[in-house]
Amino acid sequence: MSRLNNRHIVLGITGGIAAYKAAELVRRLKERGAHVHVVMTEAAQEFIRPLTLQALSGNPVHTSLLDPEAEAAMGHIELARWADLLLIAPASADFIAKLAGGHADNLLSTLWLACQSRKAIAPAMNQAMWADAATQRNMALLAQGGAQVFGPAAGDQACGDVGLGRMLEAVQLADAAEGQFQSRLLDGVSVLITAGPTREAIDPVRYISNHSSGKMGYALARAAANAGASVTLVSGPVSLPTPESVDRVDVTSAQDMLEAVMSRAQGSDIFIGCAAVADYRPVAVAEQKIKKNDDTMQLQLVKNPDIISAVTALAQRPFAVGFAAETEQVLEHARGKLERKLLDVIIANNVAVQGIGFNSDNNEVVLVTANDQQPLPLMGKQQLADALIERLAAMYRGRA
């Protein structure tokens, strides 16, 4: 998988005939897993229409610094913060001069000044314009400021001249963009995570469930995506937003979750079973609401399928991680579950301790393997998830 997977690219397009190549560039960046927002100058819109770039990027195209609707959503400062890389391709001689002079008279030049992450330009102009001393002086200023320069290439130009000044082709620019990033812990790895509770229906209005909020599983999904993984999150009913760059599959019951997991498990490299799956479900679900007629009510329950055991029983099984939420003899019960379910790793925590576990923003766990145990102290769930993903990635890579 590409080092651009889950990276945020802002592609700036300025006026010039090479603007037509931007459509192919967006497609190439998306193919490599990047999320792309396009910013166009007024002149760029004379060469290629914003609707084309919107369709290819899957995001609205940004064209105006003074657009109230745009500023109310992802404003120019937020867009600058969002970017892992701001790439201007094509960058005309006029726009390069603006950047070198520190101008901020349109959306794209303002973004350039506001963006504190990686920045790059792909020049595109007539060979004489490229060779001019003013252009070379402007390029030197931008390079001194940390901007990367992709190209230009030599060859035939639209004006009939031959020489340096052509914008690099889309594949070359995508390669150059990828080269700006170091490999991450889980680049090229697919991760399947379950999170939240399940609900087992009693009748149309009642169900059996538990106190899981899904916060730990969602934090793990976010951490895995940030580490470069392609993440699928199978989620029970929770009130949490989907982490960016994560493919979320909503389910309700344990049987729903089993089906969603088993249809994806063999194509996954790592499976993390973080969901609090209900152990039992009613044998029969009443078609109508059960009336409160008697002082007591009896329910006959049957054991739910064991999702983790089903995953580890696969002939081509992923690296499997489970959770043990216990109230006593935490490590003993966790090790038993590790062995019984044939897990590679189990993460144990004591949910009887106030302030951690279910519905809390904090947690404290012990990472347990067949030969080792690593305690992780009390911390926020996102911080803990980042630490767990770092250790799990090392274990997964070390297994090969």
Q: Which residues are part of the catalytic machinery?
A: 159
One-letter identity of residue 343: L
Alpha-carbon distance of 168 to 321, in angstroms, equals: 45
Vertex 320, ends 310 and 394: CA angle to 5°?
A: 170
> 169 with 130: CB under 8 angstroms?
no
Torsion angle of C-alpha atoms 252, 253, 257, 258, degrees rounded to 10? -160
One-letter identity of residue 319: F
Q: Give 257's contacts (C-beta < 8 A, 6+ positions apart).
A: 194, 198, 234, 236, 251, 275, 277, 307
| 85 closest CA partner among 37, 41, 129 | 37
Q: How many CB atoms sit inside 10 A of residue 30's CB? A: 17
Alpha-carbon distance of 62 to 76, in angstroms, equals: 9
Alpha-carbon distance of 372 to 204, in angstroms, equals: 46
Vertex 161, ends 155 and 167: CA angle to 5°?
A: 45
Query: Residue 107, class by beta-carbon neighbours within 10 Å (0-12 exposed, 13-18 middle, 19+ buried)?
Result: buried
Q: Give 369's contacts (C-beta < 8 A, 6+ positions apart).
A: 338, 344, 345, 346, 395
